[in-house]
A and B are shown apart, each in its own frame.
Chain A
Amino acid sequence: SQTIHQWPATLVQPVGSPLSLECTVEGTSNPNLYWYRQAAGRGLQLLFYSVGIGQISSEVPQNLSASRPQDRQFILSSKKLLLSDSGFYLCAWSSGTGTSETQYFGPGTRLLVL
């Protein structure tokens, strides 16, 4: 069966510091991968998605970036965090076969920027 991992689970970072959040998927090949942010009291905002290694689509211009160095690894980064980057970050995967677009989510990373 497929599983998705995110780490760290919680992170407290000062403004201006760098960020690296990691997401890995097990039990599937060539998945579509997604990064979402969920701010307090708001819905899910799609930040990035990837259909393959090195292929990243950005949905919202901001100071975050994403990379996919391996088939089942998706990384969210920032060079300098802003207060507004605080939130709950969710990684998700889907099969990418075109026949099932169901997304499955990881446990999330709570980021607090101070």
Chain B
Amino acid sequence: AQSVTQPDIHITVSEGASLELRCNYSYGATPYLFWYVQSPGQGLQLLLKYFSGDTLVQGIKGFEAEFKRSQSSFNLRKPSVHWSDAAEYFCAVGARGYQKVTFGTGTKLQVIP
């Protein structure tokens, strides 16, 4: 069975600082990995995804994530955070041919001036 752990429930960063959100997954085969962002009261928006190939994935809004198989991790990064990045971020794991995706419990990001 797949599982996802986001160890940080809440993170606060200053505007302009760098950001790294952690995600660890458990899956026996090659996973499909996703990061989504959710603003308050909104649906989830896909930031980026990894299926195969280059382990450094670029997404929208200046985000990137790196797949590290040896560490079972898929951490999300942004070099300089903007106030509009304040939201909740969800990591998810799926697999080829598998209809379901397992989501982590989310990390809420607060950005301070």
Contact = CB atoms under 8 A, between A and B. Distances in A.
Interface string B37-55: 0000111111001010000
A101 B103 contact: no
7 contacts: A32-B99, A43-B104, A44-B44, A88-B41, A90-B43, A99-B96, A107-B42
Interface residues of B, number: 25
Contact of B100 (A42, A46, A88, A102): A46
Contacts of B25: none
Contacts of A51: 99
Interface of B: 32, 34, 36, 41-46, 49, 51, 90, 92, 94-101, 103-106
A101 B42 contact: no
Contacts of A99: 96
B41 A49 contact: no
Interface in A65-114: 88, 90, 92, 94, 96, 98-108, 110
A78 B64 CA distance: 41
Interface residues of A, number: 25
Contact of A101 (B41, B90, B98, B106): B98
Among B34, B99, B104, B105, max chain A CB count under 10 A is at B99
Contacts of A49: 99-100
Contacts of A101: 32, 94-99, 101
Contacts of B106: 43
A102 to B, nearest CB: 6
B100 A105 contact: no
Nearest to B44: A105
Nearest to B49: A102
A90 B90 CA distance: 14
A105 B45 contact: yes
A107 B99 contact: no
